[in-house]
Amino acid sequence: MKIIVAVVVVWVSLMIYGQNKPLPKGVSLEGAVRSAAHVEFLADCTYQRNGQPVREQAIFNRVHQIIDGAERFILLDFFLFNGVHPKGGSFPALSEEITRRLVEKKQRAPQVDIVLITDTINRSYGAEEPEHFQRLRAGGVRVVYTDTRRLRDSNFMYSAWWRLFCQWFGTGGNGWLPSPFAQDGPAMTLRGYLSLFNFKANHRKVVASEKEALITSANPHDASGYHSNIAIVAQGPVVQDVVESEAAVARFSGETLPQWEIPVRPQSGEMHLRLLTEGKIKARLLAALARGAEVRLLLDPNKDAFGRSKNGIPNRPVAQELVEKSRGAIQVRWYGTHGEQFHPKLTMISLPGETVLIGGSANLTRRNLDDLNLESCLEVTAPADSQVIRSATGYFERMWRNDGGDYSLDFAEFSEHSPFRYVLYRFQEWSGMSTF
């Protein structure tokens, strides 16, 4: 009995500690406000027109431009960077294309430092490195795996148990269990599965050189190749902020990045930028939204996920709750997906004479906004008639109004009245026993 009591006490103590332990230095950052003369808004859109799929893609073409134009360094941080996809599917070879470009860049310009920071999901939470990462290393690219053990626990009840009984065994060995990511994906070890269930992630999507930085919702992941996504590209002093935030991730993962010289000229202009990471994204969203406003939400219906059907959680019960509690004042439409996902993470707040954009990697969920996952977003404040705001506003309005294509559906198409799913979503959000 004493042993059981002792184990329970330790388990509860680890739960409390795991939720409240100090964050690594440099995490949960609200950067300084930076002036900017030019900011780009990019979007990838998959939609239907006359019953046929239309795919407009710009983000990774812009990533390729950053790689090609770099003269001193290329720094990338991507959550998903692999070619794993559902069996029989046809997807763009995003991971192979970027791998090839980085290796060729290093061959052409060996003086350019290239660093990739990524999540251990890409090696299936095991010790074996995937072939394309081996090629990157062999080509002179430095690969850094994020030490997510340093982050706070989202699935806190499980993670406390894992620390007590599982972490000591590591994750090495030959995989023998089927992949949870695709039917013919890399086999996993039992220890890899046990590590996966912590549901921790470096969820960032960042590319930077000495000239500019791109923060996006898109991953170079083949199965995500037709997702709808957004990206923001910026130049000037904010590039230094982005690099320093990534250096912090490398540092707590046991690596040190070079002290790259970034030639930054002070910029003037009516646009202002701020880098936000982790919990500071939520803080800025709440500060901007506190004034009260008309709210329109365009959401993914959570019905498709890499060849598998989903049950609509969390978006459908969340949307139902918002519509009911606001008595219809909050308007919701659903993006009409056909196997792919509506994957942007973008908030636009219209104020008198100016608009605030907050966009990047962060979903509007507890895991993404409460200092759990690693996330990165850019806040852009610009005149309502500026090019970046007109591009972002036009992007949203054409989808909301179905201008030139079939983008979005009425709220009634996926309204959710199941009490069970509402309770399940609330429990999963609170407990962290979910992937959202």
pLDDT in tens, 201-213: 999 999 999 999 9
For 12, other C-beta atoms within 10 Å of its C-beta total 12
Contact 10, 30 (CB under 8 A): no
Which amino acid is it at 176? W
Strands (E), 344-394: 346-351, 354-360, 376-383
Structural domains in the chain, sorted by start: 35-431 (3.30.870.10)
pTM listed for this prediction: 0.95
Contact 288, 356 (CB under 8 A): yes
Distance CA 174, CA 187 (A): 8
Provide the 3-class DSSP secondary structure of residue 217: coil
Contact 173, 111 (CB under 8 A): no
Stretches where the chain sits below pLDDT 70 are 266-267, 290-292
Distance CA 361, CA 146 (A): 16
Q: What is the DSSP letter of 14?
A: H
Q: What does the pLDDT read at residue 290?
A: 63
Distance CA 366, CA 372 (A): 8
Provide the 3-class DSSP secondary structure of residue 354: strand
Q: What does the pLDDT read at residue 193?
A: 92
Calculate helix-pair angle for 315-325, 419-431, nearest 10 degrees.
110
Q: What does the pLDDT read at residue 292?
A: 62
Q: What does the pLDDT read at residue 28?
A: 98
Distance CA 67, CA 98 (A): 9
Q: What does the pLDDT read at residue 100?
A: 98
